[in-house]
Amino acid sequence: MAEQMTAGCTQPTPSRRIVIAGGGYAGTTLAVRLGKRMRPEDDIEVVLVEPNPCQQALSELDLVAVGPPRPEFCELWHPTVFRDLPVTVCYNRLHDVDAQEHTVLIGPRDGERERVEYWRLVLATGAIAFVPPVPGLAEHAVTMWSVEDAQELQRRIEAAFKRAAKLYTREERSRVLSFTVIGGGATGIEIVGTLGQMLPRRARDAGLDPADLRVRLVEGRPEILYDLPKAQRAKAVARLERMGVELVLGEMVERVEEDEVILESGERVDANVLVFCGGAKADPDAIEWGLEAESSGRLVCDEYLRSPHHEEIYVIGDVAAFRDPKDNRILPMLAQFAIRQAEHTADNLLREARGEEVTPFVPHMHGEFVSVGPRWGVGWMWNLNISGIPAIIMKRLTYVLYWFIVGGVRLAWKRTREMLSMQR
Ligand SMILES: Cc1cc2nc3c(=O)[nH]c(=O)nc-3n(C[C@H](O)[C@H](O)[C@H](O)COP(=O)(O)OP(=O)(O)OC[C@H]3O[C@@H](n4cnc5c(N)ncnc54)[C@H](O)[C@@H]3O)c2cc1C
């Protein structure tokens, strides 16, 4: 049975304690796989350190950011996931690593901390939204990196609807009902696509005229979704335009004021509700832990996903700077890599416990899908371009696969039903 603790996190010292910091896609997958596959003779204790009692499944945020208002959908409860597994879940933070002594400091943000020994340490503390120092941006924009962000966007949509309902001219209402997303990468397109598709219905339900809505995307490059094949980008543009989303491309933002964005060209874009989806950076605390890091802040790791000079420390997921041996480029921050790295690390840890050789991690990207609105998508798989309903099915199937990995058939079935009911 899973132990769930809030203060003292560990059992009497076993021979092999694996401490995992971070219970996101990487940490949760790793803890579940170890919990399912380790044997009593491996003599392993697994301690997962994560401040939140739930995993925020970030790739599902587009489903809940605009409505119907159920942001808790993309929270996966750790007490349920680990109910029947031999994993100690410690709802605290990792504060420091002593790589020489093989100890970590664990505890709440403010309060008593405990020094805990490890046999192996896995750092999987993820990334946070990156907001560049554009004047006014941090004050006025909501980012899209957590359930709280999704709830904040919901709150701002409601507030805009309430204000618009009291106005008499279309011009005034359109200024208040102006929704602007900055960032034409996957996250920005998913959010603006969902706004473009869902807001007209929500406006009608609220007794407002959908013709008053203004939904815009601002992107500094001349194109959106630059990671996707050209043909897929063009399809995404056509889809957004059909929804009535106005695309402002090749324009950098100079500054942001209370309800408008001022571009470097001098053009002003109404933005009563502003969402910034312009990037992410590795967990900023990680560079304090004395391990080798790239200039971007991501922790360096070798072909086995281990920190250089510290074979007992693995680094996986968004916080890790793993270089693909094929082109020497650092892998992008994607859940699919976080999950694969976690599975590989679980297997390597079991190999180590059993006196076998560890094997290198070889990344493969089999496909990528982006939703453009809740019922349509673009992407590719095995060199095949896929768009429309098949693409959105592929994207949602990746969620189902993840739920199956961490929670088996029961969780996958329960959440699939919830997801289908939300998409109606
Ligand atoms: C809106 C959005 C949509 C996305 N869509 C997709 C998609 O469609 N496909 C895809 O592949 N990827 C997608 N991604 C990217 C994907 O979500 C990330 O790559 C993935 O979350 C990385 O997993 P991770 O476990 O490394 O980090 P996370 O999932 O971010 O988990 C990190 C965990 O570490 C915890 N933590 C942080 N600091 C500490 C500490 N000091 N001690 C203990 N715990 C700590 C945090 O609380 C968090 O739970 C999307 C991201 C966003 C924001």
CATH classification at residue 66: 3.50.50.60
Q: Is the same domain home to 387 and 345?
A: no
Asked if the model's pLDDT at residue 64 lies above 90, the reply is no
Nearest CA to ligand 1 atom 48: 24
CA 30–ligand 1 middle distance (angstroms): 14
Task: Name the residue at shortest CA distance from atom 44 of ligand 1.
Answer: 22
pLDDT of residue 172: 95
pLDDT given at position 6 = 41
Give the 3-state secondary structure of residue 279.
coil
The verdict on 47 and 81 lying in the same domain is: yes
State the distance from the centre of ligand 1 to the C-alpha of 56, rounded, in angstroms. 7
Range with the poorest average pLDDT among 10-24, 87-101, 392-406: 10-24
Same domain (yes/no): 36, 151: no
> Which stretches does DSSP call E strand in 144-245?
178-182, 214-219
pLDDT at 298 over 60: yes
Q: How many CB atoms lie within 10 A of CB 148?
A: 12
Taking the CA atoms of 236, 238, 244 and 246 in sequence, report the sign of the dihedral they define. Answer: positive
**DSSP helix/strand/coil, 161:** helix
Cα gap 406→82, rounded to integer Å:
9
| Residue 317, pLDDT above cutoff 50 | yes
pLDDT in tens, 190-230: 999 999 999 999 999 999 999 999 999 999 999 999 889 99
Atom of ligand 1 nearest to the CA of 55: 49
The two three-digit tokens of residue 416, written as one number: 């699939």
Cβ(49) to ligand 1 under 6 A? yes
Q: With a cut of 80, say whether residue 1 has pLDDT above it.
A: no
Give the pLDDT of residue 75.
81
H or E stretch covering 143:
strand 142-143
* pLDDT above 70 (res 86): yes
Tell me: pLDDT of 8 over 60.
no
Paired tokens of 347:
């297997």
- Overall average pLDDT of the 384-409 stretch: 92
The answer on pLDDT for 377 being more than 90 is: yes
Rounded mean pLDDT, 275-298: 94
State residue 71's pLDDT score. 65
Q: What is the mean pLDDT of residues 168-175?
A: 94
Same-domain pairing of 56 and 98: yes
**Same-domain pairing of 268 and 328:** no
> Shortest CA distance to 283 belongs to which of 124, 145, 74?
124
CA dist., res. 176 & res. 412, Å (int)? 40
Is the CB–ligand 1 distance for residue 318 below 6 Å? yes
**Same domain for 319 and 249?**
no
Q: Is the CB of 126 under 6 A from ligand 1?
A: yes
**Of 365, 396, 412, at which residue does a domain stop?**
365
176 with 148, same domain: the answer is: yes
Q: What is the pLDDT of residues 349-361, one digit of tens each?
A: 999 999 999 999 9
Q: In this structure, what DSSP letter does residue 130 have?
A: -
- Of the three residues 249, 278, 307, the one that is the final residue of a domain is 278
* Nearby residues of 158 by Cβ (< 8 Å), 6 or more positions away: none
Measured CA to CA, the distance from residue 409 to residue 389 in angstroms comes to: 24
Which amino acid is located at 294 in the chain?
Answer: E
Question: Average per-residue pLDDT in the chain?
Answer: 92
Q: Is the pLDDT of residue 182 over 70?
A: yes
Counting the structural domains of the chain, the total is: 3
**Do residue 145 and residue 192 come from a single domain?**
yes
pLDDT of residue 233: 95
Taking the C-alpha atoms of residue 387 and residue 41, their distance in angstroms, rounded to an integer, is 49
How many A from CA of 126 to the centre of ligand 1? Answer: 5
Give the Cβ contact number of residue 77 at 10 Å: 15
Beta carbon of 52 within 6 Å of any ligand 1 atom: yes
pLDDT at 111: 83
For tokens 């392993």, the residue is 44
Protein residue with least CA distance to atom 39, ligand 1: 125
**Beta strands of 328-389 (E only): which ranges?**
367-371, 377-381, 384-388
The arithmetic mean of pLDDT across residues 309-318, rounded, is: 97
Residue 146: CB within 6 Å of ligand 1?
Answer: no
- Is the CB–ligand 1 distance for residue 97 below 6 Å? no
Do 144 and 273 lie in one domain? The reply is yes
In the sheet that holds 178-182, the strands lie side by side as 142-143, 273-276, 178-182, 214-219, 246-249
306 plus 356 within the same structural domain:
yes
Q: What is the structure's pLDDT at 7?
A: 44
44-48, 60-64, 252-256, 359-363 — which is least confidently predicted?
A: 60-64
Kindly tell me if the per-residue pLDDT of 48 is higher than 50. yes
Q: Is 277 in the pocket of ligand 1 (CB under 6 A)?
A: no
Q: Among residues 259, 278, 297, which one ends one of the domains?
A: 278
- Domain hosting residue 386, numbered range: 366-424
Task: Please tell me the predicted confidence (pLDDT) of residue 12.
Answer: 56
Task: Tell me: do 160 and 227 sit in the same domain.
Answer: yes
Percentage of residues in the chain having pLDDT higher than 70:
95
93 with 119, same domain?
A: yes
Among 125, 337, 343, 365, residue to substitute to test ligand 1 (most atoms within 8 Å of Cβ):
125
Q: Identify which of 19, 29, 33, 59 to mutate to test ligand 1's pocket (most ligand atoms within 8 A of the CB).
A: 59
The token pair that represents 262 in the structure block: 């001022």
* Residue owning tokens 């907001």: 131
**Burial level of 108, CB count in 10 A (0-12/13-18/19+)?**
middle
DSSP-derived 3-state class of residue 245: coil
